[in-house]
Structure 1
Amino acid sequence: MATLFTSPLRIPLNVDERFVRASGPGGQNVNKVATAVELRFDIDNSSLPPDMKARLKALAGRKAMTDGVLMIDSREHRTQSRNREAARERLTDLIQLASIPPKKRTPTKLTKAAKERRLAGKHHHAEIKKRRGRPATDE
């Protein structure tokens, strides 16, 4: 299996590439040559760990289709090879971002003053509710 080597991560290149005609600069060439690249990466059938797959789908947003396929489109360059490299670079960047596990949130400790303010508010509210009852009769 061919792999794309990146610094800490080896990404398998089980991607489908489709070349289509791009709009934009290029003169007459733009009407004849398919320079735009549509790169498809099947997230569900990849060898990535399940938690990484979930993060990748979340990061991809609208680029991830309902069938679990990530589609990256590149048409900013005039040549097919540069568009192909740009699309592959975007895929590796996304996978590298997905490989970073999110930091666990450590809850902030309540300060003593904040705790006292909260309790004072509760006691004040309780006093108001207590006064709503029937007045005590002096017999």
Structure 2
Amino acid sequence: MLTIAASEYRAQLRNRDAARARLATVVADALRAPAPQRRPTKPSRGAKERRLEAKKRRTDVKRLRRSPYE
């Protein structure tokens, strides 16, 4: 048994219409197929190397900004 109550409006007829609309969305959501599950993947070797190379470049840039007394 499924009960949907609506008391948003003062008029009973508008509340019935709101409850019917809510029921329609619940049924439509239940009938929709689930989204496909994500298949976990690993980054490629080249992507790992590019990422590490970019980190090294960034480190060098920041190292050049430092004062020589640190």
Q: Distance in 2 between matches of 1:90 and 1:112?
A: 46
Q: Please identify which structure carries the higher helix content.
A: 2
> Gapped runs of 5+ residues in structure 1?
1-68, 114-139
Residue 108 of structure 1 and its aligned partner are, at CA, apart by 2.6
Q: Please identify which structure carries the higher strand content.
A: 1
TM-score of the two chains, using structure 1 as the length reference: 0.30
Residue 106 of structure 1 and its aligned partner are, at CA, apart by 3.1
TM-score of the two chains, using structure 2 as the length reference: 0.56
> Gapped runs of 5+ residues in structure 2?
46-70
Superposed, 1:1-139 pairs within 5 Å as 69-113=1-45
The residue type equivalent to 2:14 in the other structure is: R
What's the secondary structure of 1:73's corresponding residue? coil
Runs of 4+, deviation exceeding 6 Å: none
Q: Distance in 1 between matches of 2:17 and 2:23?
A: 10
